[in-house]
Each structure stands twice: as C-alpha cells, then as structure tokens.
C-alpha cells in the first residue's frame, strides 16, 4: 500500500481512530520504513520478535544461478525438470511477467497457473484452491498476490526476478521450510545482480551458495529415478486388477522382461528425452561472457551506488544525487517512468491517478509500479509495453479543468 502511494490515505484513517485504543502491528519483516510507522503511530509500544529479526529459517537451503538474460526461462524449465516432485511458487516482479511465464509453462506441458493483481477475488480463490489441493504443481505469482499465503508442504520457492526490496526475499523464501520442514529457495539472476545477493546474505546472516544449472544428463537421470521410485512404491489393488491379468499377459506374451521395462520407461519418459536430446546445456556465465565494456561500466557504477546506499543514505542517480530508497525502482527492465503536469495542488492522489488512467484506457490493463506525487507534477512507473499506448490516449485529456501534458 505504501509502495503504491497510499500513505496519505492510511494517515487519514489512523488520524480518524479514537485516541484511546489498542494497536497491534504485524509484519513478516522489519525494514526501516515499518519501524518508522511503528514509532509514529504507536505509544509505549512493546516489540515481540519471533526469532532473530529478518533472519531466514535455518531449515531452508539457499542457492543462486547466474544465467544470460536470454536463457532465463530455459533455466527455470531446467530447474523444475531437475526436481520432479517440485511443489512451489515462482516469484516474478510484475503481473505481465507472471502471466507470460505461466502461459509458457502451461504451453510446455507443466501444471501451472498465475496469481496476480489483475485477477478478481473469485479467480484468486479458485486458483489458490487448486494449488492447496495440489491440482497445480507451480504457482507463478507476484509479491502483492502472494502476501499472506500459507500453503503447507511447499518444497521450493524460485525467485525468477529478485525483489526490489531486500527484506522481501526473506518473506518469499519463508513460504517454504515451515513448521520445521526443509525447503529450497533458488534465485535466477544475471551477472549484474550478484552484488544484490551479497546484500541479501547480509540481511539473512547466512551464505547463499552459487550453483550451476543442471545439465541435460543430470535432468534426465533425476526424472528417470523419480519414475522408478513411483513404480516401486505404487499401490497395487490386486482385487481390481485380477480380472484383467489374463488379457494383459496374452497381449504382452511376446516381449521379454527387459523389453517391457524399456517400453514402459519410454512411454513415460520420451517427453524429456525428445526435448533434451537436441538442446545444449546452459553454459556457466562469467563476467567476461555476460558483460560488454559498456555493461561492465554500468555494473561498476551500480556497485558504487550500492556502497553509496550503505554509507551515504541511499543509491545515487546519474546526476550524482541520492535516489529515494523506497519509491525509485530505477529504470528496470519491466517499467518506464512517465511524468505528467498534475500534482497535489491539482487534487491528484494515487487513487485519482489510477482512476484517470483506467477511464482513458478502455479496459486495457495497465501495470503500475511506483508513484511519486509532487505539488505540481507526478512521476509514475508503468509496464514498458503500455507506455506508447498510454501516452497517446492520455495526451491532452482534462483533469479538474487542467489539460494533461505527458513526458
């Protein structure tokens, strides 16, 4: 709610509450912004911490994989294939990304669906019902949609995109490894994000190990062994199958035991063999292979910004001035900034901005990022794919008697 620019509305609600009251504030993590809210609105507060603040569960194993950006989806596919019994959540940064990844996974034959903010409450409940009953193997979700999810026996959490805020990594990972059970948290990153892993390690107070994407031989072996285990542990209903045994024996009489095993394995296993026989393993990414000279300069600049963040109050922009720690995502691969000539003095608020956009986009879904409302202007992030369309339909519209100008 705060990220989306609703702080003023929340302030108004709190100010309307009776002065004599009991307030309880719950947070999965405790970033500085949450502590600031507690200090501002709570008096003589007592903090109760369940375990070490922001620390990850000791039952969760953490790993990260460095891949080229173009190989990201293939890396996800290989990780899912390497863990045949996976039952987990794949976290994406945006609704558009969650939809796209879910569609690709379903097309590839995986049991998956997307959970994001564009869905109605009824749709969310339906998808979550299927997932809790294990009718889905994978839930592709955004952070907002996955808030408060409590699903038992999750084996994996996969960070397809690292979160913007370090504390959210811990919140995501905590969806697995619950109630003393073991869990696995895997992050798929590019070379430029390695320094963010170091910051996550500092927050967790533990090391996140670097791993290599499994090769095709390892994946096929894992799938085969999983299939064998299923056969070994399958429950045979002797009474139900007995009437069919004579027909089965007659139809299979001409085959040896070895031939039957090969045919059975091929029947269940050919999908993986057919895919992996014609693809190469994903090669390990090194700094030299991932970064051009220009990208290397950008990487070094990001590292300097990271040091500035720790020592001088936040990351810095290209002009050398500090960027806002909370609102500014920077120019990520998913969002672009739009600036309009309306601000607080024009009566614009975050809800009014969203209403203005929705009224002029004729039902087209627009994925918002951060919103920064100033007295006379507003900057806000939208999905890059919507920028051109939004600029064309919003230009010269009227809000409270003032014509909209867009940069």
pLDDT, tens only, 172-212: 888 887 767 789 999 999 888 888 999 898 888 888 999 99
pLDDT of amino acid 214: 93
Task: Characterise 51 by phi-psi region: left (phi > 0), alpha (psi -120 to 50), beta (else).
Answer: left
Of 129-133, 253-257, 335-339, 390-394, the least confident = 390-394
The separation between CA 224 and the C-alpha centre of its own chain, rounded to angstroms, equals 29
50 vs 229 pLDDT, higher one: 229
pLDDT of amino acid 265: 82
pLDDT of amino acid 101: 95
CB atoms under 10 Å from CB of 95, counted, come to 24
Averaged pLDDT for residues 94-117 = 91
pTM of the model: 0.62
pLDDT of amino acid 55: 55
Is residue 85's pLDDT more than 50? yes
Walk me through the domains of the chain, giving residue ranges and CATH numbers: 7-41 (no CATH), 60-214 (3.40.50.300), 217-276 (no CATH), 327-407 (3.30.70.330)
54 vs 233 pLDDT, higher one: 233
What CA–CA distance (Å, rounded) separates 329 from 331?
7
Is residue 377's pLDDT more than 80? yes
From the CA atom positions of the chain, what is the Rg in Å? 26
pLDDT of amino acid 114: 93
Is residue 24's pLDDT more than 50? yes
115 vs 384 pLDDT, higher one: 115
Residue 58 in tokens: 């000791």
- In this predicted model, what pLDDT tens digit does every residue of 134-143 receive, in sequence order? 999 999 999 8
Is residue 323's pLDDT more than 50? no
Of 21-25, 34-38, 118-122, 140-144, the least confident = 34-38
213 vs 151 pLDDT, higher one: 213
């Amino acid at each position: 709610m705060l990220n989306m620019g609703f702080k003023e509305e929340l302030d108004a609600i709190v100010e309307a509450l009776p002065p004599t009251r009991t307030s309880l504030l719950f947070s999965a993590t405790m970033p500085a912004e949450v502590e600031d809210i507690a200090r501002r609105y709570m008096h003589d507060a007592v903090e109760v911490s369940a375990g070490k603040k922001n620390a990850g569960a000791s039952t969760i194993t953490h790993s990260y994989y460095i891949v080229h950006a173009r190989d990201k989806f293939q890396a996800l596919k290989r990780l899912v294939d390497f863990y045949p019994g996976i039952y987990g959540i794949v976290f994406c940064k945006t609704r558009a990304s969650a939809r796209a990844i879910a569609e690709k996974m379903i097309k590839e034959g995986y049991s998956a669906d997307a959970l994001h903010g564009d869905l109605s409450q009824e749709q969310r409940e339906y998808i979550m019902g299927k997932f809790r009953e294990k009718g889905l193997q994978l839930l592709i979700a955004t952070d907002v949609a996955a808030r408060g999810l409590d699903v038992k026996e999750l084996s994996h959490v996969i960070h397809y995109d690292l979160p913007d805020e370090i504390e959210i990594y811990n919140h995501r990972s905590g969806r697995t490894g619950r109630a003393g059970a073991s869990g696995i948290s895997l992050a798929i990153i590019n070379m430029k994000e390695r320094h963010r892993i170091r910051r996550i390690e500092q927050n967790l107070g533990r090391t996140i190990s670097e791993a290599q994407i499994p090769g095709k031989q390892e994946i096929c072996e894992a799938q085969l062994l999983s299939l064998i285990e299923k056969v070994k542990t399958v429950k045979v209903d002797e009474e139900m199958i007995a009437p069919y045994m004579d027909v089965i024996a007659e139809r299979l009489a001409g085959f040896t035991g070895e031939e039957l095993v090969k045919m059975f394995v091929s029947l269940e296993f050919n999908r993986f063999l057919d895919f992996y026989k014609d693809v190469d393993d994903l090669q390990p990414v090194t700094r030299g292979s991932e970064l051009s000279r220009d990208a290397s300069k950008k990487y070094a600049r990001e590292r300097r910004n990271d040091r500035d963040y720790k020592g001088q109050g936040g990351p810095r922009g290209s002009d050398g001035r500090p960027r806002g720690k909370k609102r500014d995502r920077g120019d990520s691969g998913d969002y672009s900034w739009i600036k309009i000539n309306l601000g607080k003095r024009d009566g614009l608020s975050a809800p009014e901005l969203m209403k203005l956009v929705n009224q002029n986009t004729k039902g087209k879904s627009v994925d918002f990022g951060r919103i920064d409302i100033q007295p006379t202007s507003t900057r806000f992030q939208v999905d890059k794919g919507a920028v051109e369309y939004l600029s064309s339909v919003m230009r010269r519209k009227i809000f409270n008697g003032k014509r909209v100008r867009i940069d």
